[in-house]
Each structure stands twice: as structure tokens, then as C-alpha cells.
Structure 1
């Protein structure tokens, strides 16, 4: 059966808002309290999916999770909120968060060629570092088990214990000679002690590798550079991204860059490592522009393309370096800017919005796979049902809650996923 890389994007939910809940995410913090535009955000995400479909790539979709989340509100005793208490209002905002749109944090994925039992394994991320994200994984697992229900081809694991923080594919990369060949899996973890929390625990990564039945000789556990975390690289995918033979990374991404590159080349001699020096693009510019939070893709032509946010293309130092790269004979041959400004303003770029799954598309529940006709139907639902804008002061209003709940229900009905209600 043909194994291909499928990018599953999270549709931006109708409760998309800027509450500034993510400590260490500089973009999220800088836009806290601003008016958000859920309809525009979702349409931008849909346009990115259509863009990738147009490139000839397999494209999937995950639906937004239930928001406001009654389970979290009930567990916190917040069915009624004291509006004079800022802590209660912030916790309520967590229950409204649309952060599941960033499906790079949904799970860690090991394709069948890498695993002992020859099945694709997915482990849901527990996301325990941030309250607004820690609520996601039970509903994420429900969706993953629908999408990847074929026991002959997939195994979906619950999240690892919450004593070890796990942030999913945002701190995991895979390198290989081809998507359907055995790969080298790179698990990137952080250590605490800086101004911002290190969200990925080494033992969570090691647990995932064991659960997936990976060959220890085909795994690397790599420490993220503390200065990258302190600068706002809250996930590794803010400073590095890999695809097949190519690792595209900032010079300051890893605690031991030379040791990391040597270990990769030892296990994968075909590796091509593209390092952007800090003298060309500062760590601050890399993080602000989300250059590395890009989709590094093998196009049907065989070329490697880089789907970047417009913010990266518009940053002078980044644009200058990219122009020079394209003029060289390097492995990345195309740069494809996309507009995901609403997601970017809340701290997530093109790579945050997708989860990579290498599988035969025919083994995936077709309700989660996209074509142009289905994209057009989803686009129409969003244009009609999603709120045009949300002021953080509106969070908690019954009228807005009814609108958000009805919008998600309309989408689930369209997709035939009413059991996720």
C-alpha cells in the first residue's frame, strides 16, 4: 500500500480569541486583550489547506474541540464566575480556548516503517504545562481514534502520565530517505530554569518512543538550547523543522548543535542539514517571524518546498537569507508564503496548524480527508456560522456561547461526525 505524508490541519474554532494564556509565547502575550476574528482566522486556515491540496499533497482535517468546555468549567466549580476575580475569569477563558487548532500539539506520530509491529502509532500529548491546553487530550484521543480506527494500521495511545510534560509533534522530527522508508526519530526536550517553562520533558519523549516500539538505535534525544526557550521558542518547531533528508534549523536551536548534527549524520548519512547562522538571522527575528514554524514538504515534483508565514517573507533579514538560499544549489528549492495572520497573532504558524501522519490515505476514515469539494463546503459553513469577531470581554456571554456551540455543531453535521458533539 502506498504510504504518503498526510498533513492534518486543525480548523480554527469559532471561539478563537486573544486571552494571552500561554506563558513564554511572545506573540500570544503581545496580542492579549485584542479583538480576534474567528471567521477570518478559519478562512485563512482553509486557504492554507486548499493551497497544499493545489500542490498535489494529501490533506486532512481535525474538527475543533468542544468550547466552551463544560467538563473543565464543572471540574473547577466555575459554572458561575465571580466577575470581580481575575483568576476565575482567566480560568474561564481557558475553557473557551481554541488552541486545539494547533494540531502539531495533538500527538506524536511514528509511521509504520519505524515501529516494531508495523503499525502507525500516535500518542496524544498531555500538554500539562498550560492549563488551557491540558484539557485537550481526552477529546483529542476521541477524534484520533475515529480518524485512525483501523486496528490493522494504527494504534492510538492515551497521553503519558501528567508528571512528565509532553507537547507532541511540536518537539518531534523525523528524518528518512523517503516517507515510506524506515526513519530516524528526533525527540527534542527542554530543561527548566529559565524565564519561561521548558514544556517537553525528556522522560515523556522516552516513554513515547517505548510505547511506539521504536528501535533505540533509530532514536535521538536532543536537548533544546536554553537560550532558545528563554527567547520565546516554547516549542522546538519554532527554531527547527525536518522533512525526509533535510533538517532546516537555526544555529541556536540545540544545546549541542555540533554533537546533534554528527549524531544525525552517523545514523542517516544522506542527511542534508541547512543551518541558518545567527549572524544572518538573529534568534529574535527567527522567533518573531516564525521562519522555522514552516511546513517543509516534499512536493510531487520531488522538490523540497518551504511553506512560510507572510510575516517571515516580510522580515528583511529573513527575506534576504531566503533569496540567497534559493539562488544557491541547496536542498530547499521553493518558498511558498501563506497568510495565517490570525493564527500568528495568537502564537502559531503554518507548522503549528498541522500534524504529519505518514499512512495510506485509504486506511484513514474518509470523513477526515479533504478534497476541493469538501473544502468548499467547510468554507461555506465557516462564512455563515463562525463569529466575525470576539472581544475577550465577551468571553462567558451566553449569547456568544450559543453561537460558538451552534457553529461547531453545524460543522460536525456536515462532516458526519455528530458523535464528537
Structure 2
């Protein structure tokens, strides 16, 4: 199987509106001036780094923003400019939601089960409904359109529409997968929360996770439903990928990531006897520090030589406690042998690290060849995207800029330029 990481290109409306309840970084930086051009270039820089490591890389495009169609469902009428002006005059928070660039965090686009795990031998992808937050709930339709275009070949892929909205589903950010070192006998783990913790909502519902597993045709005997700890949610781990990540036979997690870590360890070892569970103790790295630095929102990847690397945010390197622990981890001759640092500070300030920015899709060579090539990245396409970003993306966006018609027009034109540069038709995506 070949793993392709599909990253979201950070859109021209990237701003700090603080819309995500329970996301500490988002709330802390609310009202600051953002740098959309720098953010997008940082994202492309991370993609370049993964390709340099020998990994396959894909992309998803920014969504249409401002989202005037969404505003029209709220009763605003007229042409786009009139709709936006009316909404800004009525409730500025509505414009902030309609301008959100949060679709860049493609770990929330959906949940992916590779063909080796499913009953019908197809790669199944369920679009996430993201129903907990208004700015994210509006993403599902555009996400589904891109997924159905990228993975259109029914010989290899099956795309599922979102689970009904009352059952919150936030996609691969709450999903992990383990296999034996030989690559056989996978276990799919769906992580969910219950109720509110510390005043923050649990975004992933158990019912939604169960529905995705059923729709994908995953063997119930090799499916684990794992409850996230209330302590993690209360501390700001709004998704499981803020406190845990898996790859191959390795699960890397904080001591307080799960409600019952001993039960999880026992279940994993019964199904994957050679699994390695690396638990970071709270007395070495506190839960607060882990979430602040996004230590676990790293991409844990297998390199072409078979070794594993952590692609970490720069914030993890900058914290002495975290970096010291990671140094000891690499030196202990375990499965994780390499640390790679990615500067995605603009995304981090809005609450999304390296792992938030990518959706992992594992395919065999025939299925890889069936993916729409416009969604796959190489150096030439990287350079083309960077030229569009450098020319079209705004340098900064302040809170009051969200109501400026010139910004609306510029962001619309910027996305159109990117769509054309990548070979998509104006109404295709």
C-alpha cells in the first residue's frame, strides 16, 4: 500500500476570528491580524518537505469564500455583494463564519478506510459533517464535491455522504489505524467523546463513529471504539489528533489521552501483538504543554527506508521540555528514529498543526493511478501554486477587513486564479 497525504491549500481568507470553541489557540489569537499569503506558503513548504522525504503528496483546494450560498440559506438576498453587505450590517459573526478558511485542515474532511480493511475491497471515504461548529458545518458539500472528483473511479473508491448532522463526526482527526509490522491484520480505532468537559463540547459522537465503521464494512472484531478522556478535552484537545497519533504498528500518545488507557493497551496487544505503544508521561510533558506545542499533532510517517519519522511543528522544537523528551525517544533505538520540523506557525495560531493539515489515503498502485492527477503534487505544481499565492493572496487580514468589499472580491479572484492554474474548470470544483 502507498500512503498519500492530501493537504489543504490554505485559502486567501485565512483569518483569526476565534470561531472554534474548545480550541485554545484559536481563542487565544482571536482578533489578531493574520497573514494569509505567509500561511499558504508555509503550508506548501511543509508539502515540499514531505516530498523531499520520499513521501507521496496530494492537495485539496480552498473552498469558495466568502460562502454567499450559506448566507442565502439564512435569508439574505440579492447579488453576492448585497448579500455580504447585508450580513455584515446584521451580524458580523455571520461574515466571520462565511469567510472561514478552516477547510484547510483536511484531517477533518472525512474518515478513510483502505481497501485492505473493507469487506468489499474498496477504499471507503466518509465525508465528515462537522456539525458542532457553524463555520465548519458548511464545509461538507464542497468537501464531498472534491472527494468525488478526486476519487471518482468506482473500481477502487466509494465515497459516502455525511452521517446525519445530529451525530457529530469530525473525520480522520478522531481516527487511528494500526497494523502488524508485516502490514497485515489492521485495527481501526474510532475515538469519541461524551458530553461536555470543562465547558467544551465533545465533537466526535460514538454513534457517528459506529455508523462510519458499519458503512465502510470494517470487521467488528477488528474495530475499537475508544473514549477520549475528559481531561484532554477540557485542556483543549478538541480532536484526538491533538493528543495521539498512530502509524503502522506504533501508537504515540499522551498518558492522559484516553479515558481507559489500560483497556486500550490490552485490546490493541490482543489484536496486534507486535504493536508498540509509546506513552508520554505527564510528569515529563504535561497535558497543557503537549497541547500548547501540538507535540502529538505531528505526522508520524514511514520513510522509504522503512524507518519512521515525526514531522513536528516548530513549537515542539522551541519548548525545551518537549524537545528533550523527543531527543531521548529518538536515542532509545525504538521505531521512531527521525525528527523533522515544519514551520506552520500561521496554522498553529489558529489551532491546527502538521497533522491537521493532511488527510491520509492508503492505496495500491492501481488505485493510485486512478486518482485524478490534478489533486497530486510534484515540484512543478508546487511552483505553480506558489506563484499564484505570491501574486493573489492578501498579505494580511485584520478583523474589520472581513467587511471590506475589496477583500471579498480579491479572495474570490484569488481562488479562481488557483483553480485555473491547476486545470480545473470554473464550475467544476
Give the corresponding residue for 2:113: 110
- The TM-score normalised by the length of structure 1 is 0.97
Give the corresponding residue for 1:66: 64
**Structure 2: how far apart are the matches of 1:328 and 1:214?**
35
Give the corresponding residue for 1:204: 208
Superposed CA deviations along residues 141-175 of structure 1, whole A, max 9, x for unmatched, are 00000000010000000000011000000000111
How many pairs align?
Answer: 417
Give the corresponding residue for 1:253: 257
Q: CA deviation at 1:51?
A: 0.4
Answering whether residue 409 of structure 2 is matched by residue 402 of structure 1, we say yes
Contact 2:88-2:94 at 8 Å conserved across structures? no
**Structure 1: how far apart are the matches of 2:60 and 2:378?**
14
**Structure 2: how far apart are the matches of 1:266 and 1:177?**
12
Q: 2:86 is matched with which residue: 49, 74, 81? A: 81
Q: CA deviation at 1:182?
A: 4.2
**Structure 2: how far apart are the matches of 1:64 and 1:49?**
16
Superposed CA deviations along residues 49-85 of structure 1, whole A, max 9, x for unmatched, are 0000011100000000100001111111342436565
**Structure 1: how far apart are the matches of 2:209 and 2:150?**
24
**Structure 2: how far apart are the matches of 1:7 and 1:178?**
21
Give the corresponding residue for 2:281: 277
Structure 1 residues 306 and 179: CA distance shift in structure 2, 3 A: farther
Give the corresponding residue for 1:222: 226
Give the corresponding residue for 2:396: 389
Contact 1:113-1:180 at 8 Å conserved across structures? no
Give the corresponding residue for 2:159: 156
Q: 2:351 is matched with which residue: 340, 344, 347? A: 347
Q: CA deviation at 1:181?
A: 3.8
Q: CA deviation at 1:178?
A: 5.8
Superposed CA deviations along residues 203-253 of structure 1, whole A, max 9, x for unmatched, are 000000001011001100000000000000000000000001000000000
Q: CA deviation at 1:180?
A: 6.1
Q: CA deviation at 1:179?
A: 9.2
**Structure 1: how far apart are the matches of 2:164 and 2:247?**
29
**Structure 2: how far apart are the matches of 1:227 and 1:267?**
27
Deviates more, 1:350-359 or 1:173-182: 173-182
- The TM-score normalised by the length of structure 2 is 0.95
Q: CA deviation at 1:193?
A: 2.8
Contact 2:241-2:296 at 8 Å conserved across structures? yes
Superposed CA deviations along residues 70-117 of structure 1, whole A, max 9, x for unmatched, are 1111111342436565xx111211010000000000000000000011
Structure 1 unaligned regions, length at least 5: none
Give the corresponding residue for 1:185: 188
Give the corresponding residue for 2:24: 26
Superposed CA deviations along residues 344-396 of structure 1, whole A, max 9, x for unmatched, are 00000000000000013212110000111111111111111111111111113
**Structure 1: how far apart are the matches of 2:181 and 2:405?**
50
**Structure 2: how far apart are the matches of 1:9 and 1:248?**
22
Superposed CA RMSD in Å reads: 1.2
Give the corresponding residue for 1:235: 239
**Structure 1: how far apart are the matches of 2:245 and 2:161?**
25
**Structure 2: how far apart are the matches of 1:281 and 1:109?**
31
Structure 1 residues 172 and 82: CA distance shift in structure 2, 3 A: closer
Give the corresponding residue for 2:79: none
Superposed CA deviations along residues 320-362 of structure 1, whole A, max 9, x for unmatched, are 1011111112111001011000000000000000000001321
> 3-state DSSP class of the match of 1:275?
strand
Contact 1:412-1:420 at 8 Å conserved across structures? no
**Structure 1: how far apart are the matches of 2:172 and 2:88?**
37
Structure 2 unaligned regions, length at least 5: 77-82
Answering whether residue 176 of structure 2 is matched by residue 173 of structure 1, we say yes
Q: 2:383 is matched with which residue: 376, 379, 393? A: 376
Superposed CA deviations along residues 11-66 of structure 1, whole A, max 9, x for unmatched, are 00000000000000000000000000000000000000000001110000000010
